[in-house]
Amino acid sequence: MKGHLLWNAAQVIAIYLEDNVDDLVKSKTVLELGAGAGLPSLVCAVLGASKVVVTDYPDIDLIQNLQYNIDHCDALSSKSSIVAEGFLWGNSIAPLRSHLSSDDGFDLLILADILFNHSEHAKLVRTVKEALKPNSNARALVFFTPYRPWLLQNDLNFFNLAKDAGLAVEKVLERVMDKVMFEKDRGDELLRRTVFGYEVSLKQE
Ligand SMILES: C[S@@+](CC[C@H](N)C(=O)[O-])C[C@H]1O[C@@H](n2cnc3c(N)ncnc32)[C@H](O)[C@@H]1O
């Protein structure tokens, strides 16, 4: 897997997907936001998702890197189930939905280690609401590590905004990694090793 770091949340989501493959992945449509190297999306494509749209900031190098990882993923026999696209959070998702055979949204969204960008939370909430398929099984996996632990409450504020927007929020996991990602960083070491996992879904009437 080339380029850019693989952050904690992407690794933990990849395992979570493997553990819940029938519920979350098999024959599902998947959209990943801020994907970096795109590991969770590749895992979904390998494990039988019907379509995976893997996105990052619309920068040519980032998207070419995602494409490189798709092209060089030996475990992926057919590349046609996964497509890399540039996507800025909060923008219209119409171009992303055009990859789906039906126009009613995605079964699974993946947000791995992207809550650090507090100023973009409202846009992320808007995208989650717009992109989720309106059925009770569709959900967004929002996993993150507070790499700046003193800003944990700001990270968590994403979930307050999500609730305010009418979404349901459930904490599903807390996992302590063996090592911190950035040894020289400051702040509580245990928090900097912890991945918090949440599922966010549309509330059913
Ligand atoms: C910390 S990295 C996480 C990468 C990957 N999800 C992982 O867990 O390994 C954050 C990612 O968010 C992307 N990003 C930041 N702001 C963005 C925005 N406004 N729109 C789209 N992507 C953005 C960055 O390009 C980067 O790939």
pLDDT tens digits, residue range 140-187? 999 999 999 999 999 999 999 999 999 999 999 999 999 888 888 888
Residue 3 binned pLDDT confidence (cut-offs 50, 70, 90): low
Residue 120, H or E segment: none
Atom of ligand 1 at shortest range from CA of 62: 25
Ligand 1 neighbourhood includes 114 CB (under 6 angstroms): yes
How confident is the model at residue 136, as a pLDDT?
A: 82
Extents of the domains making up the chain: 8-202
pLDDT tens digits, residue range 94-104? 999 999 998 89
CATH of 8-202, one of 3.40.50.2300, 3.40.640.10, 3.40.50.150, 3.40.50.720: 3.40.50.150
Query: Under 8 Å CB-to-CB from 97, ≥6 apart: which residues?
Result: 103, 105, 131
> Minimal CA–CA distance to 29: which of 127, 140, 125?
140
How confident is the model at residue 77, as a pLDDT?
A: 86
Structure tokens at 165: 């927007």
Atom of ligand 1 at shortest range from CA of 114: 10
**What's the CA-to-centroid distance between 205 and ligand 1, angstroms?**
32
90: how many CB neighbours lie within 10 A of its CB? 14
**What's the CA-to-centroid distance between 35 and ligand 1, angstroms?**
6
Atom of ligand 1 at shortest range from CA of 7: 9
> Minimal CA–CA distance to 10: which of 25, 32, 29?
32
